[in-house]
Amino acid sequence: MDEKIELDAAKRLAAETAVDQYVTEDTKVLGIGSGSTIVFVVQRLAERVWKEGTLSELICVPSSFQARQLILDHNLTLGDLDRNYKIDVYIDGADEVDSSMVLIKGGGGCLMQEKIVASCAKTVVIVADYTKRSLRLGEQWCKGIPIEVAPLAYVPVKHKIEELFGGEAQLRIALKKAGPIVTDNGNFLLDWRFVAKREYDWNEVNTAITLIPGVLETGLFVNMANKCYFGMANGTLKVQSK
């Protein structure tokens, strides 16, 4: 099987299972994450609303421009945190999940809004393919931990992170525009490639980086996920719980 088709099948399996198990008639407000796997989440939601005639009262709160467009494109009810700040379930993808369910997120640049929406949810469910499942961070995802920073602060923040924790923090450069990636919030992204195989207390690291002036948010999601669904290469599903 072609690798992309295999990965898409794994993503779809995880996404559809999460939607069917966690989104019920009692779910009134659903947070929608970002990324390639979320496309399958929204497709399954649309099937249940428009083909199966269920979830008629469901409101979807997006975590990014991409998520907002997916909700609108599938004619689902669009909400926002101003009116829907109490979220029943939040479903999102991840770049990597370790054995303690610490996540790296932000490969797509939406980490700050994703973490805000996730923090408003009673339950956070992660959906991913088998390439995102690791014993420890850095085994699968080698692009570093994304950190959203104010543009004027990216140089001092970069050096402070490297002084505190080693590794290298690099400004993320855009591919189809001159200069750096700019997030939905108008900020820059640093990708911190931490020291491989070094033992880190990710909760302490997350707190310390967040406290650096100029840091808006990190792509470390610690003690946030309640359940993770991984679609595997052989067509089965692995479930990881907190």
pLDDT band with cut points at 50, 70 and 90 for residue 197 = confident
pLDDT given at position 1: 52
114 a catalytic residue: yes
> Nearest 5 degrees, angle CA 122-CA 237-CA 121?
10
Give yes or no for residue 3 having a pLDDT over 80.
no
The answer to whether 29 and 88 have CB atoms below 8 angstroms apart is yes
The answer to whether 62 and 68 have CB atoms below 8 angstroms apart is yes
User: Out of 16, 96, 114, 148, which one is annotated catalytic?
Assistant: 114
Question: What whole-number percentage of the chain has pLDDT above 70?
Answer: 99
Dihedrals φ, ψ of 165, to 5°?
A: -130, 0
The answer to whether 226 and 124 have CB atoms below 8 angstroms apart is yes
pLDDT band with cut points at 50, 70 and 90 for residue 38 = very high
pLDDT in tens, 84-123: 999 999 999 999 999 999 999 999 999 999 999 999 999 9
In the chain, where are the structural domains located? 1-132+223-231, 145-217
pLDDT given at position 75: 98
Start-end of H helices in the chain: 3-22, 36-46, 65-73, 111-119, 154-165, 202-210
Sequence-ordered strand ranges (E) for 59-137: 59-62, 77-78, 87-92, 96-97, 103-104, 121-129
| Token duo for residue 27 | 């779910």
Mean pLDDT of 139-144: 96
- Would you identify the CATH topology of the domain 1-132+223-231? Rossmann fold (3.40.50)
- Would you identify the CATH topology of the domain 145-217? Alpha-Beta Plaits (3.30.70)
pTM of the predicted structure, to 2 decimals? 0.96
